[in-house]
Amino acid sequence: MSLRTIAAAAILAVTGATAAHADLLDDIKARGELSCGTLNYLPGVGFLDDKGEWSGYDVDFCKAAAAAILGDPSKLKLVALTGPQKFPALDSGEIDILSRSVTQTISRETTLGYDFIGPNLMTGQGFMVRKDSGVTSVDDLDGATICVLGGSAQERYLAEYFAYKGMTFTPVAAEGGDQMYPMYFDGRCDAVTQEPPYMAIRRLRSGQADEHVILSDIISKSYEAPVIREGSPRLREVLQWMHWGMITAEEMGITQANVEEMAATSQDPNVRNFLGTDGNVGQDMGVSNDWMVNVIKAVGNFGEFFDRNLGKNSALGVERGMNALHRDGGVLFAPGWQ
């Protein structure tokens, strides 16, 4: 009896689920909890410490999203994922948002069926080598042994770039950064390839920072962005505008410390509209009107969000660079909030 009942139930559930397939935004609100996939081993990006506390840039995006949708950054379930697990977890609905330093590419967006938010970190794929190797450009690396993260987009770009230049290399595919960087620093590889901020983090932590140089060449642009599955336009809107909202808050000088006061006392119509003191922007999107207040209370504006995890207020000290506001020489510029 049991097998057949289960089968019947399964078929019913499938047909039912397909028929009444709703926007994920409503599912998350009904569930009262946001499920977010991230990584747990890289301090500053996604890290679960030995007290069981989560922190990092990618983790904070999840907290901000929970604050935006549910009004509370703690209504969040974080799931640690390995490289090969990240897309299947999103595909299966185990997680709602994948915030794990995923690189946005056209094939991932169009043929694999994902929607990218942001991007929230713009860098590129670079190389780090030993100073005494005499290497000054990527094109000097013909015949080198190169450490790369197995199953990452960088593994693909690396192979394509070297093939295009007619050069050869031997890849050493590591299972994660914690395996890859010690191998590089011990001399298993001549070069290591990843985004420069991450290489800078590792170089700083290696205790031999002045023996290594990060080449200025960038072989591919790297747009790192949180990802959701296609088919939930309203969730995508909320997350995309949340990202732009954090940039807008920095432009307007709204910070974690002053956001409540600004919402209550500011007479600037743009600020009042942005923070939901006036108007109905939030409710029209399917969240509360003060949603940006919740987001900024949870993680701060974009500048605070960046500096706390990666930038000048963190141990890593990564430069804002491209990830600064346009008026400060970066490329961040948000659409208007009218």
Nearest C-alpha neighbor of 114 from the set 1, 227, 271? 227
Rounded to the nearest whole angstrom, what is the least distance from the CB of residue 113 to another protein in the complex?
A: 4
Residue with tokens 């031997």: 170
The angle, 0 to 180 degrees and rounded to 10, between the axes of the packed helices 57-70 and 291-299 is 150
Q: Render 2-14 in DSSP notation, one character per residue.
A: HHHHHHHHHHHHH
Of positions 71, 75, 85, 330, contacts another protein by CB under 8 A = 85
The structure tokens listed for 198 are: 């991450």
Contacts with another protein, 47-66, as mask; x by CB under 8 A:
-xxxxx--------------
Of positions 11, 22, 209, 331, contacts another protein by CB under 8 A = 11
87-116: which residues touch another protein (CB under 8 A)?
A: 87-89, 91-94, 111-113
Of positions 23, 29, 71, 82, contacts another protein by CB under 8 A = 82
Of positions 29, 167, 183, 266, contacts another protein by CB under 8 A = 183
Of positions 13, 257, 264, 331, contacts another protein by CB under 8 A = 13
Contacts with another protein, 210-229, as mask; x by CB under 8 A:
-------------------x
Rounded to the nearest whole angstrom, what is the least distance from the CB of residue 191 to another protein in the complex?
A: 9
Beta-bridge partner residues of 229: 114
Cα separation, 111 vs 134, whole angstroms: 41
Report which residue type is found at 160: E
Contacts with another protein, 136-155, as mask; x by CB under 8 A:
-----xxxxx----xxx--x
Q: Does 187 bind another protein (CB under 8 A)?
A: yes
Question: Is the Cα dihedral 228, 234, 237, 238 positive or negative?
Answer: negative
- Beta-carbon contacts of 200 under 8 Å, excluding residues fewer than 6 positions away, are 214, 316, 317, 318
Considering the complex, state which of residue 51 and residue 210 has its C-beta at the smaller distance from another protein. Answer: 51
Residue with tokens 């290489």: 199
Total residues at the site for another protein (CB under 8 A)? 76
Give the single-character DSSP code of 197: H
Piece in contact with another protein (CB under 8 A), picked from 40-48, 213-221, 256-264, 319-327:
40-48
